[in-house]
Amino acid sequence: MHRMSEMKITTEDATHPLVEMTHVEKHFGDLHVLKDINLKVAKGEVLVVVGPSGSGKSTMCRTINRLETIDSGDIRIDGRPLPQEGKELARLRAEVGMVFQSFNLFANKTILQNVTLAPMRVRHMSQKEAEDQAMDLLRRVGVDTQASKMPSQLSGGQQQRVAIARALAMQPKVMLFDEPTSALDPEMVNEVLDVMIELAHEGMTMICVTHEMGFARRAADRIVFMADGRILEQASPDEFFDNPQTERAKDFLSKILTH
């Protein structure tokens, strides 16, 4: 991964966003979960999506790598429309890293194998190259000493950090985080958020759905507030937390920031 100082902005970067959603609509049966979603995420931007439960945050996140299909609208990654299926979709998923609430590690493989599997299969890396990269990434997330263990031998916080390393091993253009700390015991939350903050500082493009408002204020370039399937506000963290524009956002913040 490039550090900020090494990143050269090309004219291409300036012309199109890395992720672009245009008039996206999504229903689950009669439930209208995404309503006219329009969103652009620039290269290197950290976007944090907040809002009440059931607002469509996770669904929106999951449409970006096509884990959820959409009814209408357009989603583009790096200027290209999302492919429907097959090899193209696999290639897209390699470019979009995803970290979920549950850690989704392969229970029957070691930590090292969890991080090397996809690069060897999808990116056709040699085992040596994949293992060198994996150890490098495990070191970065602070679990390199656990490489030979099985996931069940690690704490939840350690497993989630391995899941981040595994996503990074595919050298993605953008990382999606869907409430990555909500299944963790409170004392493990910060060790995962610290890794995410470090990634943000290094210039990784990130879209994070989270309830962690301290992280949102600290790491986000932009806050997106969703309620009832719509994006109601987009603002810098200071603007959003100090001066929310809509009644829904004021209500949401009053409920979470007073406790």
Q: Residue 22 is part of a domain; what is its CATH number?
A: 3.40.50.300
For residue 258, what pLDDT is reported? 60
pLDDT at 8 over 50: no
Please report, rounded to a whole number, the percentage of residues in the chain having pLDDT higher than 90.
80
Give domain status of residue 150, yes or no: no
Instruction: Pick the closest to residue 193 from 163, 219, 168 (CA basis).
Output: 219
Domain count, the chain: 1
Q: How confident is the model at residue 7 (pLDDT cuts 50, 70, 90)?
A: very low
**Does the CA dihedral 63-121-175-87 come out positive or negative?**
negative
Backbone phi, psi, residue 31, to 5°:
-85, 120
> Domain range spanning residue 85?
17-105+173-255
Note the pLDDT tens digit of each residue in 121-177: 988 999 999 999 999 999 999 999 999 999 999 999 999 999 999 999 999 999 999
Give domain status of residue 143, yes or no: no
CB proximity list for 194: less than 8 A, separation 6 or greater: none
Give domain status of residue 110, yes or no: no
SS3 218: helix
Give domain status of residue 78, yes or no: yes
pLDDT at 114 over 50: yes
In this structure, the number of other CB atoms found within 10 A of the CB of residue 147 comes to: 18
Give domain status of residue 123, yes or no: no
